[in-house]
Chains A and B, each alone.
Chain A
């Protein structure tokens, strides 16, 4: 399966004087869902457009199954652009059949897949309507159907969750897992909803100012980037009870001498626990896992 990975290698792109991408490289392994996060203008959309061949890179290449991606291979990609777009006046089903045909399906396959996809998206009752007659939420579903209709072998989705209600988010999450889990499709999507990325993704790639600043699983990111934080809730302890442990610093003061403490790399958390138990009654002693949002802020700030 490893050779089914999508590899982005050293992608660079300028727009006039603006360096949009500067040597962006990362892999999307087969069957993995990769979250692509970064501030606005960091280069997410440019990267995805290059991966889809909509935009040419100044340098670098995109490889899939170990080969440089060409037009024929790209037909097997599914794409949902950030700027949503379909023919407003065309009927939903016809539109999907047309797009499936452009992706190389025969007329028979295209019709079958279009029918299956509208059903999967739960918009089959509107299949004969013009797109513009649908609610925005349903248009969004059709947009995703357009990315999935040809059963792509690679999925690249730019902000697929924006504009969806919580029910839609859950439905889309399930839909994205399915091709990854069942057919080993590499899936990459960008999002600003970091809690969602955290829940859904096997790995995260963080981009800022056109360069990758962090990548890996959420756990790896935490281990590599974040500070060691421990939350201790305690009663009956004297003021400054933690001062005797070297490398421990109070980050956030909580009532009754409780708090969130940052430990230096060489600080001993077991020693801190011993001291705490001697100082008072420990109600809670727990490592604090930063959320992806906190990691994101930390990385982007630095």
Chain B
């Protein structure tokens, strides 16, 4: 009786490991629950954006000037016709009205009935209301039976209101910020959640002692690589799925117009996640290999936690101010760039040079860290029984 011929192409061992780690977790209740939860949170966020907040039906308009002013009765009539409510605030001069707009206490300011001023933009329904009111007033005041057809045409051609913004910026900025904000939240959740999954997976194998059987068949780095790839692939799959869900939901509900380059941002986030995950998962795997039991994991991952948390808060800050030194530095450093760089790209602040440098630094760090972590892991993972000191393991590698 002949034994089955062994498959000599041992290079694929990590793939077999990855497949197990992927499928076991995919079928786990925890995965379904975490996916559903994330989708629920996203749904709330998108719906708030679509129907809540500043509100499509309620506008606050600052008004300055009496002479050519559009009568407030006309404005209210148009607002009523559009199904909106209009709150009017009178200001003594244009500066005070603009200040109110900038401070956000008014949505726009109508100066002398001719200029409509918003901060970054003026909500389209408000523009329609004001233009309609101004046109009606203009036409009512200027049309009389003695006018020639040419004069009537001239009156009708008059542009009644000019729309300005105080800070003329990218019209997509708000959308981009929203996308960046959601991206940071998701990336943070995936990096942390799936990093922990790698650590607990390592501990499971160590605590159940199966690691000894596994390492009698394959090399430690094959086991490590397989686990990181398998768990990471699942995290990536979930990230892509949730991103698609968010984009579709946002488009369907009309919460935001998702511009083409926001899709680019999402693709970039996914790519950065893959690299950032390789970086953090290696650290998590070493932490898992150092401890003997699940209960000890919390302590072992404190430094990694701090690193991720700090990166997270810096990146949240970068959504509003992407050009601070802190934000730029964070988008270059390997432990924070996976969170900070997608944000800066999303809000359009990263330069091509920074993007390339950030990628190069991250790839180089991963290339250095992974084999290094693999060696630490190899030396620590078979020491069952008690917590292993990092220094001992490091010494054993030399």
Chain B interface, number of residues (Cβ within 8 angstroms):
28
A86 to B213, CA, bound (A): 8
Inter-chain contacts of A109 with B (CB < 8 A): 4
B210 / chain A contacts, CB cutoff of 8 Å: 85-87
Given the known A-B contacts A86-B208, A98-B20, are A72 and B213 also in contact in the complex, defined by CB atoms under 8 Å? no
Contact A54 B13 (CB under 8 A): no
Q: Which of A52, A85, A106 contacts B211 (CB under 8 A)?
A: A85
Q: For window 196-228 of chain B, which residues contact chain A by CB distance below 8 Å?
A: 204-205, 208-219
Q: B398 to nearest A CB, angstroms?
A: 14
Which A residues lie within 8 Å of B10 (CB)?
A: 71-72, 75, 104
A84 engages B209 (CB within 8 Å): yes
Q: For B3, give its contact among A53, A146, A183 (CB under 8 Å).
A: A183
Residues of B within 8 A of A183 (CB): 1, 3
Chain B CB count within 10 A is highest, among A55, A101, A102, for: A102
A113–B4 touching, CB < 8 Å: yes
Q: Whole-angstrom distance between the alpha carbons of A152 and B216 in the complex?
A: 12
B 229-255 to A, binary, CB cutoff 8 A, 1 in contact else 0: 000000000000000000000000000
**Complex CA–CA separation, A75 to B222 (angstroms):** 14
Measured in the bound complex, the distance between the Cα atoms of B17 and A81 in whole Å is: 20
Given contacts A102-B13, A105-B6, A106-B4, contact A87 B217 (CB under 8 A): no
Task: Give the contacting residue for A72; candidates B3, B8, B16, B20; CB below 8 A.
Answer: B8
Q: B209: which A residues are within 8 A, CB to CB?
A: 81, 83-85
A79 interfacial by beta-carbon distance below 8 Å: yes
> Is A192 close to B, CB under 8 A?
no
A44 at the interface (CB under 8 A from B): no
**Are A72 and B6 in contact, with the CB atoms below 8 A?**
yes
A54 touches B208 (CB 8 A): no
Interface 0/1 of A84-110, CB less than 8 Å to B:
111111100000001101111110010
Q: Which B residues are in CB contact (< 8 Å) with A83?
A: 209, 212, 384
A54 to B216 CA separation, bound complex (whole angstroms): 5
Chain A neighbourhood of B16, CB < 8 A: 98, 101-102
B7 within 8 A of A: yes
**A253 CB to nearest B CB, Å:** 49
Contact of A102 among B4, B208, B214, B384 (CB under 8 A): B214
The complex places the Cα of A182 from the Cα of B212 at a distance, in Å, of: 28
Give the complex CA separation of A170 and B192 in angstroms: 50
Query: Contacts of B24 on A, CB cut-off 8 Å?
Result: 89-90
Q: Which residues of B contact A53 (CB under 8 A)?
A: 215-216
Q: How far is the CA of A109 from the CA of B214 in the complex (A)?
A: 19
Contacts of B204 in A (CB 8 A): 87
Nearest to A74 among chain B residues (CB) is B216
Whole-angstrom CA separation of A182 from B218 in the bound complex: 27
**Does chain A have a CB within 8 A of B382?**
yes
**Residue in B closest to A53 when the chains form the complex, CB atoms:** B216
Find the residue from B212, B218, B382 having the highest chain A CB count within 10 A: B212
Taking CB atoms, residues of chain B closer than 8 Å to A151 are: 3-4
State in angstroms the CA–CA spacing of A54 and B213 once bound together: 9
The residue on B at minimum CB distance from A91 is B24
Interface residues of B (CB under 8 A from A): 1, 3-4, 6-8, 10, 13, 16-17, 20, 24, 204-205, 208-219, 382, 384
Write 24 A-B pairs (CB below 8 A) sorted by A numbering.
Answer: A49-B212, A74-B216, A74-B217, A79-B213, A81-B212, A81-B213, A85-B211, A86-B208, A86-B210, A86-B213, A87-B208, A88-B208, A102-B13, A102-B217, A103-B6, A104-B7, A104-B8, A105-B4, A113-B4, A146-B213, A150-B3, A151-B4, A153-B3, A183-B1
Known: A102-B16, A113-B4. 4 other contacts (CB 8 A): A72-B8, A101-B16, A104-B7, A183-B3
Q: Which 10 A-B pairs have the closest CB atoms?
A: A85-B209, A104-B6, A85-B210, A83-B209, A151-B3, A52-B216, A102-B217, A104-B7, A109-B4, A81-B212
